[in-house]
Each structure stands twice: as structure tokens, then as C-alpha cells.
């Protein structure tokens, strides 16, 4: 709760001093492409963090790889779309 209060106070203080609303405007296609690249970069960083550091504590370490599992997944997805 304290963090939320500090964030609200910082927002109000920022708006009071700079007379600006805290809204991001995208001006033209360059601004859109820049924002899109920024969001894509953040998503990539998030994905890399999850793949690197997040582990399932309940996963069974004795499981072996199944040959053709990816092919079976793709065929299941294709049959679902048909």
C-alpha cells in the first residue's frame, strides 16, 4: 500500500510541477514504430528472464524427451484449425 501511495504522490507532484498529463502520445508512424520497438524489446527481455531464471519446482526431473512431440503438437494445432 505504501508503494501505491508513493506512486500516486509522485504522479501528482509531476503533474503539478510540469503542467503535463501523464499520457504517451504517438505522433505519426515514426512514433508508433518507436513505441512498438520499445514494447517488443521489453517483451523480449521479459521472455529471456522467464526462460533463464524461472523453474518449476514440481517438474519431474526423470522425464525423457519424446521423439516427434513437436510434430504431434503441430498436427494437433493444424487439425484444430481445419
Q: Return the C-alpha torsion angle 49, 54, 60, 63, nearest 10.
A: 0
Question: What pLDDT, in 10s, does the model give residues 54-73?
Answer: 888 888 888 887 888 889 98
User: How many C-beta neighbours within 10 Å does residue 64 have?
Assistant: 5
Mean pLDDT, residues 9-22:
53
What is the distance, to the nearest Å, from the Cα of residue 28 to the centroid of all Cα atoms in its chain? 24
Residue 7 pLDDT > 60: no
Mean pLDDT of 75-80: 92
Give the length of the chain: 82
Amino acid at each position: 500500500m505504501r508503494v501505491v501511495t508513493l506512486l500516486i504522490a509522485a504522479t501528482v507532484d509531476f503533474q503539478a510541477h510540469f503542467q503535463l498529463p501523464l499520457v504517451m502520445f504517438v505522433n505519426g508512424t515514426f512514433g508508433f514504430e518507436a513505441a512498438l520497438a520499445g514494447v517488443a524489446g521489453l517483451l523480449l527481455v521479459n521472455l529471456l528472464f522467464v526462460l533463464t531464471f524461472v523453474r518449476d519446482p514440481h517438474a519431474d526431473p526423470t522425464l525423457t524427451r519424446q521423439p516427434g512431440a513437436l510434430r504431434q503438437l503441430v498436427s494437433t494445432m493444424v487439425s484444430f484449425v481445419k
